[in-house]
Amino acid sequence: MKNTLFFCIFFFHVVHAQKFSMDVSYKYMYAKQWDRSIQLYNFSRPWLIEKQPLFMHGFNTSFNYRLSTKQELIHGLSFDLSFFKSVAENKNMANAINLYISNLGYFARKDFSILHSNCYTEMRLALTVSGLFRRVNQEPILVDETPTRAFGIGSDVQVKFGYSLPCLAEIKGSLFLAISYAPYVYSPYSESVLNQTMGITNHYGTGIVGAQIGFRKGFALSR
């Protein structure tokens, strides 16, 4: 009970202090070695009518906390979570692969104006963690009574450009575009989730390129 009360007080302070924002966006992803694992799965099962789609289209949500500063360059902490799903439904078999990617990092932001419009650029460096899970007919695949899954870890850099909408100035709303790059996410068991093999396609990890378009809502209540 005390922990819940403390969290509520802290959350209210963050919102009331105009330091908290939330992003919601569509995310496109290209992960070469994970794509190769799916392509190997499709190639080794020519009898499947519906092929397993690649990870491309997903959903991202992000929470940003601005640290107190009197400088023009704003900085703070960011946490986001992306979700991608690949589903192929064939006779007597619905194969679903769920991919979660989370980033925890530090961002720096610079506000500026273009033609009297408020804009901003933001750069973020983050630790990346991934989780890959497979279900067949809504049931997890078990190996030695353990669900088949793969976790990964790496780093990520993101650049974001935002435009504050004049019509939504009262709620601190803005549109943004972002690109991100993770040079290498180490995930040695991701190939085995689909193919029960290791090292044939994904070399124990993959690079990830991402692009996003979305909406940011700033919680800006004046004191």
| Percent of the chain at pLDDT exceeding 70 | 80
pLDDT digits (tens, 9 = 90+) for 60-106: 999 999 886 666 788 999 999 999 999 999 988 899 999 999 999 99
Domain of residue 46, CATH code: 2.40.160.20
DSSP letter for each residue of 165-215:
-GGGGGGTEEEEEEEEEEEEEE-TTHHHHHHS--SSSSTTEEEEEEEEEEE
> In terms of Cα–Cα distance, which of 191, 29, 199, 195 is closest to 101?
29
Indicate whether 107 pLDDT > 90. yes
* Whether the predicted model's global pTM rises above the 0.85 cut: no
Band (14; pLDDT cuts 50, 70, 90):
very low
Band (116; pLDDT cuts 50, 70, 90):
low
Indicate whether 12 pLDDT > 70. no
Residue range(s) defining the domain that contains residue 62: 2-219
Distance CA 126, CA 103 (A): 6
> Which token pair is 186?
């180490």
How many domains are there within the chain?
1
